[in-house]
Structure 1
Amino acid sequence: MNMRFLLTFVWVARLGSFRLTAEKLSTTQAAISSRISVLETELGVQLFQRDSRGVNLTREGHKVLGYAEEMLATQQRLHQSLGLADSFAGRLRIGVMDTVIHSWLSELISALSRDYPQVEVELTADTALNLGEQLLKGQLDLIFQTDLLRADGVRNLQLASYPLSWVVARNGALDRSYTSLADLCQERLLTFSRHSRPHQDMLNFLHQQGIPAPRISCINSVAAIIKLVADGFGIGALPPVLVSRELQSGAMIALAIETAPGFSVYASWRAGAGLELNEAVVNLSQAVVAEYQRSVLPAHFILPSN
């Protein structure tokens, strides 16, 4: 039995779509249909019900899926026994939020190039909400973002926490003494994109402090927030690790006023037979994050406790 056809069958079952499977496996819908047709002929059963909403496993298809995943897992164990487990190749589609781009993403890409030179990395930068949707649709294999994703076949791992500070440009109009959080909130506050975890947590925090309607500008680019803070447009609610050079040089200062507690970044990925590369890259990302933490102030970048 052709293992590539079994892998195709498993992906159609996971994604519920011939089109998405074709995108995932870098082929055409016609090729996907042909592989499934060959399997159905060989097994003598119909594997999928097709309708306008997509494809769903038949009762026989559910039975075949368990065996197919077991066969793919056995193939992987065989590769491990022969010392071939690390010979990963192909395309890995990674989604990242802006905070990761401006902290440890470069180190991860360097480590990937070193450890898995045959893997082609395709990067997508987007908000956590959009990244989660793309992972669930099968358009991404692994994402780094702020929300736990609860879905069949998806795993999550907390990688690090980013505390927040109120940051202003030194000697600008906003560099003054603030008597309270309420006083500070009279100014324009700059934070992450609307409906993101950091944005929602900030709103909840301010509401708990008796500030129900702050002047908040939501921006989906860390680079843009930093530039606007530097130009005196507002007070940034930023992880200080993202502006460490500006803080060290004195171009910006962190105000000694309580802010929201910050946010965590998670790796979320599809797990299962044939997806061992995802797991390997998550393990690599843990090592990269731990090394990055040693290069910054410990209070600015916190690893999860074991």
Structure 2
Amino acid sequence: MRILDIKTFVALARNRHFGRTAEELNTTQPAISSRLAAIEAELESRLINRGDGSFALTADGERVLQSFEAILGDIDQLRGTLQGDAVPALEPLRIGAIDSVSSTWMPHLIDSLHRSFPNLKIELTVDGTKHLIQGMTKGEFDVIFSLHPVLDDGFRSFTSCVLQMVWAGSPKLIDPDRTYSVAELASLPIISFPKNSPPYQMIAPYFHDEQALASKLTSCNSLYAIINLIIDGFGVGAIPAVTIRRELSMGLLHQVQVSKRFPPMHIVASYQASTHQDFIRKVISQARISAARFCASVEPDMAWID
């Protein structure tokens, strides 16, 4: 059996799509199908159930995947030993994260990964939860940090940290010494993330549960743009407190004192559980450490480990 066939099967198991696998390996879909057929014929076993848009490894396919990953890992380790190179088999590492992570502890994680794997290439994509989850299920990421878990087969998720959300406003607009009721807050112009996004879904019940209506609402899909709009006095917004520590300390923003506390935001890590298991476990371990260290470096009521 060729190494090319083994690599093809591992890539196919990760992507769960013949077209994406062909694109990744710079070949055609018929070539991918041919290599899979050759493997199944040689092993005399069906490895993948496919049809009507579905894709799943059989029990034999799961066992073969584990063996193939071990083989590729051994080859990569041997190559690294001969070349004096510590680069893992997975390259580049594709990470996706929402703004609240990229602006807080993501730099710590990237720095720690580079210290552990000096030659590792990392691709970081900052996007919303919806697009990150879609990309993860399409095989475009190895690890993502968002507001919802990836629930498809082949993925695992856990809460990496919790960020406290606060209402923030400019002294141009709000009185920092005043305590606002939910109704009074609803009367102010509010800047939020787009409707149907996870952050918006946290804001809507806040008012609805108190039978209040936020009538002046502006939507924006960028955390940084929202912060700048709030600083300029265009409205108030509910955002993670750790993302505006500098603005709070400089007096550009104030935490709005409210009669009803805003619920915290849980940051969920999701990762590929079926491919490159040893390396991904190391990445996840580093992510847990980076999140914990960041939470320990800020005020306890801003961020914590659940």
Given the two structures, how large is their TM-score scaled by the length of structure 2?
Answer: 0.85
Worse overlay, 152-161 or 28-37: 28-37
Residue pairs, 1:74-93, within 5 angstroms: 74-75=70-71, 87-89=87-89, 90-93=91-94
C-alpha displacement of 1:114: 1.2
Aligned partner of 1:239: which letter?
Answer: P
- 1:49 CA displacement: 7.5
CA distance in structure 1 between the aligned counterparts of 2:50 and 2:69, rounded to whole angstroms: 27
Residue 18, structure 1, aligned to residue 18, structure 2: yes
Unaligned runs of 5+ in 1: none
Bigger mean CA deviation after superposition, 120-129 or 270-279: 270-279
**Partners of 1:248 and 1:131 in 2: CA distance:** 32
Quote the residue 1:271 is aligned against. 273
3-state secondary structure, aligned to 1:151: coil
Amino acid at match of 1:289: A
1:172-218 CA deviation, whole Å, 9 max, x = no partner? 03346454221121011122233222211211121111214443322
Distance 1:47 1:234, change over 3 A: same
The aligned residue for residue 190 of structure 1 is 191
Match 2:282 to one of 280, 283, 291: 280
Q: Which residue number in structure 1 is paired with residue 63 of structure 2? A: 67
Contact 2:147 2:268 in 1 (8 A): yes
1:164 positional shift: 1.2
**Structural RMSD (CA):** 3.0
Corresponding pairs, count: 298
Alpha-carbon offset, residue 4 of structure 1: 4.9
Deviations 1:236-260 (A, max 9, x none): 2111111101111112111110342
Counterpart in 2 of 1:174?
Answer: 174
Structure 2 counterpart of 1:27: 26
- 8 A contact 1:169–1:232 mirrored in 2: yes
**Equivalent runs, 1:59-138 vs 2, <5 Å:** 62=58, 64-72=60-68, 74-75=70-71, 87-89=87-89, 90-138=91-139
Does the residue aligned with 2:194 lie in a helix, a strand or coil? coil
- What residue number does 2:200 align with? 199
Relative to 1, partners in 2 of residues 1:168 and 1:267: Cα closer, same or farther, differing over 3 Å?
same
Equivalent-residue separation in structure 2 for 1:16 and 1:149 (angstroms):
15
Instruction: State the distance in 2 between where 1:113 and 1:41 align.
Output: 42
Matched-pair contact (CA < 8 Å) for 1:72–1:274: no
Taking the aligned partners of 1:127 and 1:41, their CA distance within structure 2 comes to 43
Distance 1:180 1:46, change over 3 A: closer
Give the deviation of 1:98 after TM superposition.
1.1
Q: What is the percentage of aligned positions where both structures have the same residue?
A: 30
Alignment deviations for residues 17-48 of structure 1 (CA, whole Å, 9 cap, x no partner): 2222234x553336634533542453466766
Check the 8 A contact 1:13/1:56 in 2, yes or no.
no
Relative to the length of structure 1, the TM-score reads 0.85
Partner deviation per Cα, 1:259-302 (whole Å, 9 max, x = no partner): 42121101101102433322221110111111111221111111
Cα 1:46–1:294 change in 2 (3 A) is closer
State the distance in 2 between where 1:151 and 1:218 align: 30
CA distance, structure 2, for counterparts of residue 253 and residue 49 of structure 1: 56
1:45 and 1:152, CA in 2 relative to 1: closer, same or farther beyond 3 A?
Answer: closer
For 1:140, give the aligned amino acid: F
- 1:145-167 residue CA offsets vs partner (Å, 9 max, x unmatched): 00022221110010111111111
Structure 2: gaps spanning 5 or more residues? none
Matched residues in 1 for 2:166 and 2:15: separation?
41
